Chains A and B, each alone.
Chain A
Amino acid sequence: MLTRRAALMGAAGAVSLPIFARAAKAEEALTPAAAPADLSKLKRIRRELVAPPFVHEHEQVAPGEPRIVEFEMTIVEKEIQVDDGAYLQGMTFNGSIPGPMMVVHQDDYVELTLINPPQNMLQHNIDFHAATGALGGGALTLVNPGEKTVLRFKATRPGTFVYHCAPGGPMIPWHVVAGMVGSIMVLPRDGLKDHEGRRVSYDRVYYIGENEFYIPKDEAGVYKRYGDVGESYLDTLEVMNGLVPSHVVFNGKVGALTGDNALKAAVGEKVLFVHSQGNRDSRPHLIGGHGDLVWEAGKFNNVPDRDLETWFIRGGSAGAALYEFLQPGVYAYVNHNLIEAVNLGATAHVVVAGDWNNDLMEQVVAPTEMTGI
């Protein structure tokens, strides 16, 4: 039996414009469009995206006038193992779940080349929450397999924002929960500022994209596996509509940011954690640490909250939290719905090197047997 992909390719060759078509009368006059924006004097810089949790090289303070920042992303449809015995027919921006984080400065122009290679089966596009108009660019970027498009938008608002695929109708939630979501950080031109307007910087930035998956099970309760992404749709839709995820994960799979892949930091380092969730609410918490400065909604024109224990990420947004590590050891960065953290997967680890501070915490009596009580 032919795969859907082969059937599609076969069908594609059979269609052509009949020769007896002739142009209708000129009933619809073409009017001129608005003149394209003249950005010829702006400098261009090309950024190579890297897979999360890492973020491409960038300046925290803009080095001069606004620039056109070029990015390129290729959409990859592929099966991804998200846990032992659990496979997702994934759809990805640039091969990773979440898609890579882009960083620009306010008033820069983001120029994205979006590629949908012929090996893919489905149409995709991109909706930037940071952009203004045309459904965040979604209305201008729908690409079939074998097509590419270039979108440019001005990053007018500073903050962390989600981008996601939104190719119309019931495809929208499905593509998002299949992995097509990422984030962009638009930094203020003069960098981040604390609650008193003083400049703050970070030593490291980690992008933690949270995704929830809805993987169907068979009658025996075993996760089903599918030949291709189209084949997984109808079953997945049924699970999705129940709103009960099978997995809630950081960086695309259970354990993606633990063990060998744990995040690294050192005592005295300030780490910016950017956390996105494209579809569902989350509540990040750093076990044993805090959020020194937290832009819960992610938007840097707002005064950051201080000293938070847990912060809220609205579904469809990205937030940012800055924390200076004060103690060495292993920290768990979790979604503090602990069922989701522990049982469904939403846990990352941060391994922090340095010297212990007994003033902050000291073990007075190690757990011992309760004798003589």
Chain B
Amino acid sequence: MKTILLVPLLAAVGALGLGAIPDGAPPFAPPQTVTVAAGEVSWRPLGNFSQEGKARTPRRVVLAVPGFEIMKHQVSRDQYSTCVAAGACAAVPAVGGSLPQTQVNWQDATAFAAWYSELTKQAWRLPTEAEWQLAAAERYGDAAADAGARDPGERMLSAYANGVFLRGSAGSAPRPAGGYGENSLGVADMGGNIWEWTDGCMVNGRLAADGTVVQSDPYCGVRIAGGRHRAAVIDFVRDASVGGCAVGLPPDHLGFRLVRDAGAPDRNGPAVW
């Protein structure tokens, strides 16, 4: 497996001068982007949390998210195949055409971001979880068990019910770009049947009596994919359709879109998750 690390590459790009005019001819037309204004999201980390030794769901907190620029559409198969042809991305099973690229794992997605950043001399990266949530707007979904759910059975039933509700009537085949329409911010296809990789990690920790997180540790072998219901997916999995969110409620497809940072990328900034 090819392990391409985003951080050092971006740092190198930064040293070369961001925002410079690309020297080579772009491999495809620059993607349309949407500027998402700074805002707030009602946030809770996804993972395993406990309170006095029992599994619990964290209470939501209000999180401020700085504004950012995000691709209007998911990265397409044509775009991804250019990266494969350049030898910078791993070949994946779903190939050809203008459909959104699916069957990519988190490593494939970050490799694409690194390659495209280097090519364009711009800082492209996966969105943070909070950015994805803000960009998804009314299409954001989270199938975590309700914070009030206490015993294991109640927690499983709650998560399942939330997932079934959020899932609605998503079909199984990927639709062409725009097939799921735009949300209120003008971002296309959020919450369709393609889940999107974010830079977020699964988090484990402990909760205070009021349900807020008092201690947490990320586990980045599992990344968070945004969609109708957030999914925690192992970073080398390309097809999670047989499981993922809650029992029996997996993401249909895994794809991605990127965020473009205007200034020098600051990987130690506040909203890393």
Chain A residues proximal to chain B, CB less than 8 Å: 1-4, 7-8, 11-12, 14-24, 26-34, 121-123, 133-135, 139-140, 142, 144-147, 168-172, 230-231, 233-234
Contacts and interface: CB of A to CB of B under 8 A. Distances in A.
Interface of B: 1, 3, 5, 42-43, 48, 54-55, 59-64, 146-148, 150-153, 155-156, 201-204, 209-213, 216-222, 232-234, 236-240, 242-244, 247, 250, 267-268, 270-273
A12 B220 contact: yes
Given A18-B271, A23-B61, A123 B152 contact: no
Contacts of B152: 133-134, 139-140
Nearest to B219: A144
Contacts of A27: 60
Given A2-B3, A23-B59, A169-B242, A122 B146 contact: no
A198 B50 CA distance: 48
Contact of B237 (A15, A142, A147, A170): A170
Given A122-B234, A234-B238, A133 B153 contact: yes
Nearest to A137: B152
Contacts of B60: 24, 27-28
Of residues B220, B238, B242, B250, which shows the largest number of chain A Cβ atoms within 10 Å of its Cβ? Answer: B220
A12 B55 CA distance: 22
A196 B18 CA distance: 84
A147 B47 CA distance: 13
Given A30-B150, A145-B221, A171 B270 contact: no
B110 to A, nearest CB: 10
Contact of A12 (B3, B211, B218): B218
Contacts of A17: 213, 216
A231 B1 contact: yes
A22 B219 CA distance: 23
Of residues B54, B209, B217, which shows the largest number of chain A Cβ atoms within 10 Å of its Cβ? Answer: B217
Contacts, number: 138
Contacts of A22: 61-62
A227 B237 CA distance: 17
Contacts of B54: 33
Contacts of A33: 54, 150-151
Contact of A122 (B150, B156, B221): B221
Given A133-B152, A133-B153, A170 B243 contact: yes
30 contacts: A4-B1, A8-B221, A11-B201, A11-B218, A15-B220, A15-B272, A17-B213, A18-B270, A19-B270, A20-B63, A21-B63, A22-B62, A23-B212, A24-B61, A26-B59, A30-B211, A33-B150, A122-B221, A122-B234, A123-B221, A133-B153, A144-B204, A147-B204, A170-B240, A170-B242, A172-B243, A230-B1, A230-B236, A233-B236, A233-B237
A147 B150 CA distance: 22
B270 to A, nearest CB: 5
Contacts of A28: 59-60, 146-148, 211
A14 B43 contact: no
Contacts of A20: 63-64, 270
B3 A4 contact: yes
Given A23-B210, A146-B217, 10 more contacts: A12-B217, A15-B273, A21-B43, A24-B42, A26-B59, A30-B150, A33-B151, A140-B55, A169-B233, A171-B234
Contact of A15 (B43, B150, B218): B218
Nearest to A171: B234
Nearest to A134: B152
Contacts of A19: 270
B237 A169 contact: yes
B212 A234 contact: no
A26 B210 CA distance: 8
A14 B236 contact: no
Contacts of B63: 18, 20-21
B218 to A, nearest CB: 4
A142 B48 contact: yes
B142 to A, nearest CB: 13
A127 to B, nearest CB: 12
A22 B63 CA distance: 7
A32 B5 contact: no
A272 B156 CA distance: 39
Contacts of A123: 219, 221-222, 234
